Structure 1
Amino acid sequence: MNSNTLTNENLLWIEGLKFNARGLIAAIAQDERDGTVLMMAWMNRESILRTLETGEAHYWSRSRAELWHKGATSGNVQKVKQFLYDCDRDTILIKVEQVGNVACHTGARSCFFNLVSIDPG
C-alpha cells in the first residue's frame, strides 16, 4: 500500500461507498491474527486515502474535527493487512496488526469490554 498504487482507476470503488450526511463511514478495526474486534471509528475520504497511502490506519475524529493517525502519540499504531467494505458499501472492515496490543483509549486491548447479561428466558 503506497501512493504509487493509488491511481484514479483503482480507487473508483471509493466513490461507490455510502458515506453519511457528514461525509463519514463506519470503520471496524479487527486483529488480523485472532479476529478480535478492536474498535470502531469513523473514516472520511481523506482518512481512507491516507490509510491506503501509508499502510497505517487513519480515522476522522468527530470530537476534534480532524484527521487522526491511530497511535501517533501512543505508539499503538494499526498496520493495515486487509482493507474491505461490506456488501451494502456502508461499513469498512480493516484487518490490522495492532502494535502495542492496545487499541482502546482506556488502555484496554479492545474497546468492546462491556458485557451485557442476556436472559433468554
Structure 2
Amino acid sequence: MNNKSRKAKGRILQNLVRDKIVKLFPVLGTDDIRSCLMSEPGADIKLISLTARKLFPYDVECKNRQEYKTIYNHYKHACKHGNLEPLLVLKMNREKSLAVIDLDHFIELLARAN
C-alpha cells in the first residue's frame, strides 16, 4: 500500500469519528470540531471550542492499520463470551491498561449520559 493510500485510509476513519460526534452533539459545527491534517501534531480529532471540549472530553487517536489484527482477534474472542457488550482490556509491561469497546457503543454511552 502506498503512502497516499495509507493517509486516505486514516482520513476516512477520522472523518467517521468526527461525523459520529457531530451527530451526537448537533450543537457542534465546523467551528467547534474538525479532523486534523495528516502529520499535524496532537489528537486526530481537534476540539476547537470550549463547548466541544466540555461535551466530548476525549483526545481521540485514530489508527486504521492492518497490523492490529491481533487486537481484533482478541476482541472477536471477547464477543463470543456471551450476550453482554464486549470489552477488551489490553496491558503491556510498564504501560497503562487500555479498554477497547465498539465505537457505536461508545457513542451510545455518551448519548445516554447527556
Which TM-score tier does this pair reach, normalised by the shorter chain? under 0.3
Could you say which structure has the greater relative contact order, defined with CA pairs below 8 angstroms and 6 or more residues apart? 1
TM-score by length of 2: 0.27
Q: Which one has the largest radius of gyration?
A: 2
**TM-score, reference length from structure 1:** 0.26
Greater helix percent: which structure?
A: 2
Greater percentage in strand: 1
